[in-house]
Structure 1
């Protein structure tokens, strides 16, 4: 049985590329590269045809994004500070017209404009005392997997698999959770890249009956504070463009919208567009942390 994804490093005398072959989402992603760009693009074309990928995503340095532009790639988003303070340009190419076409783009624009027109709140109130926030451990893997399985019918990565969650934690992924009556009701993670000093804030999930207290924002703040402590200042997230709540949360926390990835991944019940939000944590003071009320 073919895995949902695999990473692959191809090294020759003229180029080196690190790839993420995402079979579940039918896409090929270039995470790291160096060397002859013409030969790299030839290699990507061959792999795309071999696996029938319908989207290619290339995380590109500033000196190369215009090279890809001349080869038919499009600029969809920018992550500021991605490479130890240097920006990354997310370039994409499509191999299928349905993958290239978004049915919800105008609706997503309207949602985004509504969010951007709102004033950012200065303070946040704490949720009721029955909610407690903490850092997750390996012992939480099963409960985390169950939480993601309940919240998402379909998800881009196998977060409903406890072994996969355990593997991610062992590899250094940070998870923070909220408990209510000894049950995990909300969680979020930070996928940290120690080489380039950036982190993707992701895997945000809250059970429906607990969504009115802003738990995700509290978790994101906790993650941000730990990232800053560890010298990680580039934080970004890729949020469902149709989700008012998630996009509003990142906006309210001071993130900047920097682009949208068309039909980027399967989530909930279909391929969805994803908004990119970026924040430089070095300019952010340690903000309103949720009090762990035990009385």
Structure 2
């Protein structure tokens, strides 16, 4: 649930995410001390994590308020970086047992040779008529997902809210899909909802879909892309690395996804016209 909070000398927009036990502040203006005090008042015990997307010049202030620096989304604000500052209400949420393992996975991603792309598959832009089949795909790929992507009505809702889907079909079913959640105010988009059935995961299927989304975004005058990938997913991190996304840090126990709470890696990219 998104809410706008206002005071005499400030405003901020906050997402209250009960499923993932977190609050997230995406935009703020005005008196920083007033903003921070109000955030603290709504960061109650029903939430265990608070995330603020901070402007670069405000990072020292949030550090002075005992926030932790977890990463950066490059060019998020129309070319200026967003710095992710966090607070925690639970020690279990702050600590990760898989951090070193994920460091090793990331090192392996960086050393992996770029695998050749198969011939470009037949892809198309998704429509509301695809909602049922998309929901079936997400239900099959993810036992747990941070948003209700197994609900066709939710998928229709996000499509109406400026989320673009591209998909690949075979035998009257969707076998792979990805989306771009567009922020026209800041000319950015989050590459998300990436899912492929296991038997179709070779040959660069997801790379093709993301490249198609990138070109669609450029046609719509969106110039900056980012993605938040499961830190334990070698394949998804490799896809983003091979598409020249820049690693920007790791968010601790950020969401419930796949099977449990997971750390998430930040990746971002300045979009350019494809050579294809």
Aligned to 1:203: 193
- Aligned ranges 1:261-280 → 2 under 5 Å: 261-280=251-270
Q: CA deviation at 1:48?
A: 1.1
Which deviates more, 94-103 or 209-218?
A: 209-218
| One of 39, 45, 52 as aligned partner of 2:40 | 45
User: Which residue of the other structure, out of 213, 216, 221, is the alignment partner of 2:206?
Assistant: 216
Give the aligned CA root-mean-square deviation in angstroms.
1.3
- Number of matched pairs: 276
Runs of 5+ unmatched residues, structure 1: 1-5, 289-295
1:146 aligns with 2:168: no
| Match among 92, 97, 101 for residue 103 of structure 1 | 97
Instruction: Give the Cα–Cα distance (whole angstroms) in 2 for the partners of residues 225 and 287 of structure 1.
Output: 11
Aligned 8 A contact 1:190 1:199 in 2? yes
Q: Displacement of 1:153 after TM fit?
A: 0.6
Name the stretch that deviates more: 20-29 or 60-69: 60-69
* Superposed displacement of residue 243, structure 1: 0.2
1:169 aligned onto 2:163: no
- Say which of 230, 233, 236 aligns to 2:226: 236
Hey, what does 2:118 align to over in structure 1? 125
TM-score by length of 2: 0.97
Q: Indicate the residue corresponding to 2:274 in structure 1.
A: 286
How far apart are the structure 2 equivalents of 1:72 and 1:196? 28
TM-fit CA distance, 1:40: 1.2
Aligned partner of 1:28 in structure 2 is 23
* Structure 2: unaligned runs, 5 residues or longer: none
1:190 Cα deviation after fit: 0.1
Displaced runs of 4 or more, over 6 A: none
Q: Normalising by structure 1, what TM-score?
A: 0.91
Match of 2:64 among 61, 65, 70: 70
| 1:249 to partner: Cα distance | 0.3
- In structure 2, relative to structure 1, the CA distance for the partners of 1:285 and 1:124 (3 Å cut) is farther
The structural deviation recorded for 1:80 is 1.1
CA contact (8 A) 1:14 1:36 kept: yes
Q: CA deviation at 1:287?
A: 4.1
Does the CA-based 8 Å contact 2:18-2:46 persist in structure 1?
no
Q: CA deviation at 1:42?
A: 1.3
SS class of match (2:268): strand
Maintained 8 Å contact 2:168/2:177: yes
- In the alignment, is residue 249 of structure 1 matched against residue 239 of structure 2? yes
- Select the residue among 3, 10, 19 that pairs with 1:15: 10
For 1:293, the equivalent position in structure 2 comes to none
Structure-2 residue corresponding to 1:291: none
Asked if structure 2 preserves the Cα contact closer than 8 Å seen for 1:77 and 1:260, the reply is: yes
Confirm or deny: 8 A CA contact 1:132 1:180 kept in the other structure: no
Are the aligned partners of 2:117 and 2:203 in contact in 1 as well (CA < 8 Å)?
no
Alpha-carbon distance in 1 for matches of 2:95, 2:103: 15
Q: Distance in 2 between matches of 1:17 and 1:99?
A: 25
Shift of 1:120: 4.0
